[in-house]
Structure 1
Amino acid sequence: MSSVLDWLVGLMRTIGAPGVGFATALETVFPPVPSEAVLPLAGYTASQGHYGLVAAIAWATAGSLVGALVLYYAGARLGAERLAGIAERIPLVYARDVDRAMGWFDRHGRTAVLVGRLVPGVRSLISVPAGVSGMPLLQFAGFTTAGSLVWNGLLIGAGYALGEQWHLVESRAGEISDLVYVVIAAVVVWFVVRRWRGRRRAGR
């Protein structure tokens, strides 16, 4: 990962703020490249005079939107029917679970996209159900842009302010990410146990 970050820094310094947009699009599509590292690093690079702070935030937000659209169209291509078929082949998961999830997304999709862009571990993946559910493209783009602007502004601004101590932002954001992953894992375990118990009762 350090070599990837070094390459991204070189890109930002070579082509300026558009490099921030490319890096942000990359981390949106490929979650193993963490925004918690890329964005503060972009802010630090801006503090060294390679490009302006506002330009960095603007390009990062544009990159976030491009990456989110890639995942949105991937979800749209997958579709709810195909996703339901995949669900039927997964143990303890049913097609009706997909129907319920899509129903929930139809009711709360705008909030989910807006808030989801501010949650580590969720910010990239939230684009997929938006595409699967057929959320209107302009609506998706608007809420994605708004949420990304806040997230990018906070992390790039913090990296800019901290300068050589930009890594402090990464460590704090990483702690939040770990907490989110624990919560997600707990929800998955709860779902599996609940579904398994339901099957046992039905078998009796």
Structure 2
Amino acid sequence: MDLSPLALPQEPADGIARWAADLVDAMGGPGAGLAIALENLFPPLPSEVILPLTGFAAGQGVISLASALFWTTLGSVVGAAVLYWAGHLFGRARMHALWSRLPLVKASDLERTEAWFTRHGTKAVLLGRMVPVFRSLISVPAGVERMPLPVFLSLTALGSLVWNSALVLAGYWLGDRWDLVEGYVGAVSKAVLVLAVAAVALYIAVRLRGRGRAQHRRTS
């Protein structure tokens, strides 16, 4: 069945939606899995477009709902595994070396982050798969910190299945209004990004203020 007649959303998502529709139309479930694997590696590709569109395709009988959930979850795991191995190969030694060259940061900051990940890494990977923006990035520190691969893959599969199911089923139930999902999830993604930027800005402001006070004490 050709997906091209779908009433796709307008720019900027239209091109991505058309690309994803063509993949699903040409390859079926594996096409949806490939799109989501690439979405994990290139976060600007929005899962809030690809997954509901896949659900709509399932509702139209292009693929089965079980196939949509299986292949998109497999694609998520494959994409996350690539990022995990990137972090694994980069390693802690290189991370510490790079961190030491960054301005306004201390070695103790990284050490505290590592200690936190040691205590809460499993929850971070599981829940991180359900948080826009961070769902891809969380795989890198898991690799850097050498989280056991079977544990990482299991948590990633479970978290991805929850996230993918929510968006695929939304598209399946909404039918030709599947693109409504993008508006809601996109708003959440932007809110998360704004909070992350605000947290970084606050961190930099605190560091600069602390440095200014230290210089003032040395000169007084």
Q: Does the aligned pair in 2 maintain the 1:116–1:123 contact within 8 Å?
A: yes
Residue 183 of structure 2 aligns with an amino acid whose one-letter code is S
Identity level (%): 50
Residue 104 of structure 1 corresponds to: 116
Question: CA separation in 2, counterparts of 1:193 and 1:130?
Answer: 28
Question: CA separation in 2, counterparts of 1:165 and 1:119?
Answer: 23
1:198 aligns with one of 200, 203, 210: 210
Unaligned runs of at least 5 residues, structure 2? 1-12
Unaligned runs of at least 5 residues, structure 1? none
Question: CA separation in 2, counterparts of 1:41 and 1:90?
Answer: 41
Residue 176 of structure 2 corresponds to: 164
Residue 47 of structure 1 corresponds to: 59
Alignment TM-score, normalising by the size of structure 1: 0.97
Asked if 1:144 corresponds to 2:156, the answer is: yes
Segment drifting more, 26-35 vs 192-201: 192-201
2:145 aligns with one of 130, 133, 144: 133
Asked if 1:186 corresponds to 2:186, the answer is: no
Encode CA deviations 1:88-144: one digit per residue, 9 max, x unaligned: 222212333222211110110000000000000100000000000110100101111
Residue 167 of structure 2 corresponds to: 155
Q: Does the aligned pair in 2 maintain the 1:84–1:96 contact within 8 Å?
A: no
Kindly name which structure, 1 or 2, has the bigger radius of gyration based on alpha carbons. Answer: 2
Name the SS for the 2:136 alignment partner: coil
Residue 109 of structure 1 aligns with an amino acid whose one-letter code is G
Question: CA separation in 2, counterparts of 1:11 and 1:195?
Answer: 47
Question: CA separation in 1, counterparts of 2:95 and 2:143?
Answer: 12
Residue 4 of structure 2 corresponds to: none
Which consecutive segments of 4 or more residues in structure 1 shift more than 3 A? Answer: none
2:68 aligns with one of 51, 56, 63: 56
User: RMSD of the TM alignment (CA)?
Assistant: 1.1
Q: CA deviation at 1:71?
A: 0.3
Residue 120 of structure 1 corresponds to: 132
Q: CA deviation at 1:2?
A: 2.9
Q: CA deviation at 1:173?
A: 0.3
Residue 177 of structure 1 corresponds to: 189
1:34 aligns with one of 32, 43, 46: 46
